Chains A and B, each alone.
Chain A
């Protein structure tokens, strides 16, 4: 049990970029075989996202507020949030910007460490959609954990990618069309 807690603590440190490089590979392998650790990793990312986005005043909260409500209404997530708040969340809340920079470093390390073993990108896991009813229409499309039961819709995916590429040329800022490509997993029929 104590050992398990130690590994969970390592995941938290990993989020903060505070573990040694030679420990990364070992931790990644553990996470690949441990659903609970993957969920912990996913939850930490969700917590960090909510914390680091620097929510604006109420009138502009929109989607962000809905997400927060959804998270707080989700018993499983609330419980995990409480657990995490003793360590990671406390530190993140005071160091929002610094944490974002640290995460960039972590992701780079993780990709380097994991990819050569092949197919272990699932370690990074996915942001499982919340139970928010407002999300339902396209939630499945926009989460990282799309069910693979449904066949891909290659034609629509191609339209979306092609449109985004073209839209860059007419867009007010270059990144939004690309964010749409990267942010939406391939659409399924």
Chain B
């Protein structure tokens, strides 16, 4: 009798553990969004992709004035990105160019919007992994395995404060396509001013300013729409860029983890990008659409960008 009770107890406990795991994992994921909103930190991390390792420095500050962030490539050419709320400055020393752009769309990430992260359970198997040390910090690993072929998998290593100290993007075989891993991290009350200032001399650099985009909504309709999206993906923003060569319509599609951009512009034979391409973890596909060209880029499998590109049609 005792054995039966013991067996039933173990069965019950096992069942509880199995059910509590996704909830625990979601609680860890929620910490990520909270950490992004309020933490000040700086550190160095390794970015691995396509058999390359790159060392980078990140500085992030969050205050009543908003968010500031600076990312610097530490090896080779010192490319740099500085974000001051919605103003993004990219410095490319090899081209001696600086690109300044306004990012006028607010965060749509469910992590930052404090939305219910339970939505992920429809498209990913979510589970708690081992506790592992990253950059000297004991982190909790969270595994997100896709339930279909339209998205990649993820492994996140989250610090007790909610910082993502390591993240892997995984293909269908579970192999890492891309990794980010901190080698050191410093949480501070306030970021020293000098860490936020670029050290590169920009004398002689060409500056390119991207005009603010126009958000498309009910009042200003876009010319194009997507007719097929895999489950869980939805339109997050739709914008219009006015550029030298004409207007470019942009749509951002996301399932809360993966992001896909759709660019539609006038066909230019010299510049048009047709067919498949891949840069790092980003897959892309371009195709003609009448006098226009549709280019879709995203951190999703090639099949997904193709599917979406083929489904773009003109609004009536």
Residues of A at under 8 Å CB distance from B?
Answer: 42, 45-46, 48-50, 52-54, 56, 60, 62-64, 66-67, 70, 96-97, 100-101, 103-104, 107-108, 111-112, 115-116, 118, 121, 124-127, 129-130, 132, 134-135, 137-139, 141-145, 152-156, 159-163, 165-187
Contact = CB atoms under 8 A, between A and B. Distances in A.
- Where chain B touches its partner, the secondary structure class is strand
Contacts, number: 266
Interface of B: 32, 36, 44-58, 60, 69, 71-81, 83, 88, 90, 92-95, 99, 101, 103, 105-109, 111, 132-136, 154-156, 164, 167-168, 175-176, 178-181, 183-184, 199-201, 203-204, 236-237, 241, 250, 252, 254, 256-257, 259, 261, 263, 271-273, 277-282, 284, 295, 297-299
A168 to B, nearest CB: 7
A162 B73 CA distance: 19
Given A178-B69, A183-B47, A169 B95 contact: no
B272 A173 contact: no
A85 to B, nearest CB: 19
A185 B50 CA distance: 13
Contacts of B164: 172-173
B77 A64 contact: no
B199 A108 contact: yes
Nearest to A130: B51
Contacts of B298: 163
A165 B52 contact: no
A152 B95 CA distance: 10
A156 B273 contact: yes
A183 B200 CA distance: 17
Most chain B Cβ neighbours within 10 Å, of A107, A118, A160, A163: A163
A155 B271 contact: yes
Given A138-B50, A183-B73, 19 more contacts: A45-B75, A49-B46, A60-B176, A64-B53, A97-B183, A101-B184, A103-B55, A104-B44, A118-B203, A121-B94, A141-B50, A155-B272, A159-B284, A160-B297, A169-B108, A172-B167, A172-B257, A174-B60, A183-B47
A94 to B, nearest CB: 14
- Where chain A touches its partner, the secondary structure class is helix
